Structure 1
Amino acid sequence: MRGSVTGTAVLLAAGALLTAAMTTATASPPVTATTQPRVGTSPSHTGASQPVLVDCLWNRTVRPGDFILACGDGNSRLTGLHWTEWSPQGATAVGTNMVNDCKPYCAAGSFHAYPVTVRLDDTEPWKKHPDVQRYSRISLTYQEGRPEGFKQVMTYPLWD
């Protein structure tokens, strides 16, 4: 019994450290109002005229290459994002949604890659910085296959 408890504790601690490392790796420095967007770079930053994408660490970016969707455990993230549009009306990218199947449980699960089209929209002032417009909604359209229980189009609110 004691070995089982110890093994579980070690596994949970390793999962927490992995989640912290994955979350920290996507952090970006704050954006300044004088920084101009650089088309085709990832991540790039923006001035006040461009809407931003706020991540789970409250950093703002423009055209990020990666983005964590499941901040609590890192079990869903967008990778390899290539942006074709970024404007106050919306942003569009193609990339991959890496999703953990959590079978038999999340720490022992496997990640699977699903090609997606990402759409950001519904800009509104960011509560933390009311002079900055941020995207408040993200939609993922699965191109071929999708995680178990997901619809072809999944829409989520974004952090404020």
Structure 2
Amino acid sequence: MAKTAILVCAGTALAAIAAPSSASASANSRPQSPTRVVVDCFYRPQVRPATFLIACADGNNYLDKLHWSRWGPNSATATGQDVVNDCKPYCAAGRFHSYPALVRLDRVRQWNGKSRHWQYSRLTVTYPGARPADTPQSMTYPLWS
């Protein structure tokens, strides 16, 4: 009788130990949700980048010091700095100025036909305070794919 009780207890203990392991295995075998990315100027997918170039041709406008508070299935939001060249008297001789910015990425679509990556295809930069001359409080840019 004691031998049976020990075997039952040992079996129960082994089942308890194995349960989390098998639950973990089934969680790992589930397909993962597609990754949300923002595609940079070099067509590389980026996740929560700290810096993002807006003006790819000349590098005269980029986002810097980005701190992402959300990176979700439909949108992403961050705070950071919009760094803009004033191009005075011309861009090569201009000076860069930083402006606090709120950043939003949205309009998710499949990236380049790759099912595991979905890209944010629109970028909106909003200036809560000072902003570059002749610039509206909010600017929206379509992003490349």
Give the TM-score normalised by the residue count of structure 2.
0.75
**1:136-155, aligned counterparts within 5 Å?**
136-155=121-140
Return the match for 2:71 from 72, 86, 107: 86
Q: Aligned letter for 1:133?
A: W
Partner-residue secondary structure (3-state), 1:102 = coil
Percent of aligned positions with the same letter in both sequences? 50
What do you get for the CA RMSD once the two structures are aligned? 1.4
Q: Structure 1: how far apart are the matches of 2:118 and 2:44?
A: 13
Partner-residue secondary structure (3-state), 1:77 = strand
Q: Structure 1: how far apart are the matches of 2:34 and 2:55?
A: 28
**Unaligned 5+ runs, structure 1:** 1-46
Return the match for 2:87 from 102, 117, 122: 102
Higher Cα Rg: structure 1 or 2?
2
**1:9-158, aligned counterparts within 5 Å?**
49-127=34-112, 129-158=114-143
CA deviations 1:11-38 (Å, max 9, x no partner) are xxxxxxxxxxxxxxxxxxxxxxxxxxxx
Higher relative contact order (CA 8 A, sep 6+): 2
Partner-residue secondary structure (3-state), 1:135 = strand
CA shift for structure 1 position 88: 1.2
Change (3 A) 1:110 1:85: same
Partner-residue secondary structure (3-state), 1:115 = strand
Across the two proteins, how many residue pairs are aligned to each other? 114
